[in-house]
Amino acid sequence: MKEKEMRGFVEKINYSNDQTGFTVAKLKTDEGSITIVGIIPFLRPGDEVRVEGFFEEHQIYGRRFRVRSLERISRPTKEGVERYLSSGAVKGVGPVIARRIVEAFGDQALSVIEDDPERLKDLHGIGEKRVELIRRSILEEKDTRDTIVLLMSFGMTRGLASKILKAYGKDTIKVLKENPYRIAEDIKGVGFQKADRIAEAFKIPKDSPFRIKAAILYVLERIVDDGHTCFPLEGFLALCEKDLKISRELASKAIGQLKEEGKVETEDRGEVFVFPAPLFLAENYVAGRLKEMLEFRLDRRLIDSNAYLKRIESDIGLALSSEQREALRVCLGEGVSIVTGGPGTGKTTLVKALILLCKRMGLRIVLCAPTGRAAKRLNEVTSFEAKTIHRLLEFNPEENRFRRDERYPLTGDVFVVDEVSMVDLPLMYHLLKAVPKGARLVFVEDSDQLPSVGPRNVLRDLIASGVVGTVRLGTISRQYLGSAIVLNAHRINSGLMPFLRTRDRLPSDFLF
């Protein structure tokens, strides 16, 4: 087998396995188009590459070039140039004109525009005025253009490329060549896979400590996206080995280094688990803060002894059920409490009663919910101000942080959080940091509500712990007994067929 080096452009990806990286592609070279095969992940049409390997004869597929090593040429590709020209950065050029220019001049299009712009006049739709507009626009961005085009060749958008350039300035190319994984950590939207493509183009070894540490954080990020806050260490090392071809030894060493850098934590819970450091901090803080709040106790008899409940019933025009009375005692008698129940079981009535009860007792009550829609609905049904948790905590999108915390806490005595099943661990962490000491926290949720999108189902964990006062409202309130929607919702949740036919004498709010 005679080793050979070849250079060309990837024309087409015939087959690619994301798990193993095995790829079959068409490569256009000076000798014509050839088929290349090998472990060459993240290859895409338009890439200019230099490959080393040998030709082989396959019994079925014929003559192919077996790739031993591959290097991406780091200069801008045709695709990158076209994306740049059509991005809006160059005046007088839209997607159609950009395509014509690149089809005519390939990856040398920018040099043609800069050095010999008259050649553009040969293309349909480009006159003298447009030529001058394009050339002037290109020259204005000359200092940064090549870097932006290079970044766009790696799949970056114009906006993302500009953000990277703004962050690193004249050192951008240096960062890309020395440690492109840094931009994945510093710049939102880049990610490990784009950084890995850049690293491959600049021949950064697969076992580079930079790559391995970035890969560890990437796998953790995927685990968090699945709703977890941690993962068994042994299983985690197996994932790194299977998906990213990183040995257990190198992965273990990288985890130790990331622990020293404060980015990763491990904890032995009978089995060793690995955490992203921010979630480890959040989980421990939430557990400690809730434990502290649970130590608060109030004699529940005080609520009844002052005849508050009778007055409340008169104010809202409804008699409270025994479940709702017990829920009020728990909500005001415990530092942390949970009220759960399906639709129509009286959660809204309970919140209304709680608002009036707090007013009569001289307690300041605050209502909030995780989404704008939930907060608006809470405001409508209670006639009391309700905010999103982000608005309550005064989130600043420019600084990506909440103004309210333990140094600048919220004002209130009782905090009601509706639809709490949608609150993930990071948001609960920020909320608890801002709730003042001595305040009570009431979690209200529909037992069939959607879980949080982010990591950890905080509410389910609290209920399962058995240490938080929990009241389950199960009886459909009288005002909902005439609603077929509520009736059928409960039947479906109980595994029963809903009433559908007219002979079932359904109320008029349910049609089938």
The token duo for 364 is 């300041």
Rounded mean pLDDT of 226-248?
A: 90
Cβ 444 vs Cβ 417: under 8 Å: yes
Cβ 442 vs Cβ 415: under 8 Å: yes
Which pLDDT value is given to residue 489?
Answer: 58
Q: In what order do the strands lie in the sheet with 231-232?
A: 231-232, 272-276, 264-268
Number of residues that this document lists for the chain:
512
Least confident of 60-69, 174-183, 292-301: 292-301
pLDDT over 70 at 135, yes or no: yes
Three-state secondary-structure class, residue 358: helix
Half-sphere exposure of 157 (CA within 13 A, CB side): 8
CA angle 175-106-73, nearest 5°? Answer: 35
Query: What is the C-alpha separation between 301 and 360, in angstroms, rounded?
Result: 16
Torsion of CA 212, 215, 217, 221, to 10 degrees: -170
Strands 272-276 and 264-268: antiparallel
Three-state secondary-structure class, residue 26: strand
Query: What is the C-alpha separation between 128 and 375, in angstroms, rounded?
Result: 58
In the predicted model, what is the mean pLDDT of the chain? 84
Query: What is the C-alpha separation between 426 and 447, in angstroms, rounded?
Result: 22
pLDDT over 80 at 388, yes or no: yes
Domain spans in the chain, listed from the N-terminal domain onward: 4-72, 74-147, 209-289, 296-481
The token duo for 69 is 């090593």
Query: What is the C-alpha separation between 498 and 490, in angstroms, rounded?
Result: 9
Residues 6+ apart with CB under 8 A from 248: 237, 238, 240, 241
Cβ 481 vs Cβ 345: under 8 Å: no
State the fold for domain 296-481: Rossmann fold (3.40.50)
Query: What is the C-alpha separation between 114 and 297, in angstroms, rounded?
Result: 76
Asked whether the CA dihedral 274, 279, 284, 287 is positive or negative, the reply is negative
| pLDDT (tens digit per residue) in 58-74 | 888 889 999 988 876 66
Higher pLDDT, 261 or 398: 261
Residues 6+ apart with CB under 8 A from 153: 76, 77, 79, 80, 81, 83
CATH 2.40.50.140 fits domain 4-72: yes
Which pLDDT value is given to residue 478?
Answer: 43
> What CATH number has the domain spanning 209-289?
1.10.10.10
The token duo for 354 is 């709680």
| pLDDT (tens digit per residue) in 186-198 | 998 899 989 998 9
Cβ 416 vs Cβ 385: under 8 Å: no
CATH assignment of 74-147, among 1.20.1280, 1.10.357, 1.20.1530, 1.10.150: 1.10.150
Query: What is the C-alpha separation between 429 and 411, in angstroms, rounded?
Result: 17
| pLDDT (tens digit per residue) in 470-480 | 888 875 444 44
Amino acid at site 450: L
- Would you place residue 259 in the very low, low, confident or very high pLDDT band (cuts 50, 70, 90)? very high
Three-state secondary-structure class, residue 400: coil
Lookup result for tokens 């020293």: 260
| pLDDT (tens digit per residue) in 321-357 | 888 888 888 888 889 999 988 777 788 888 998 998 8
Least confident of 106-110, 269-273, 367-371: 106-110
- Would you place residue 305 in the very low, low, confident or very high pLDDT band (cuts 50, 70, 90)? very low
Amino acid at site 365: I
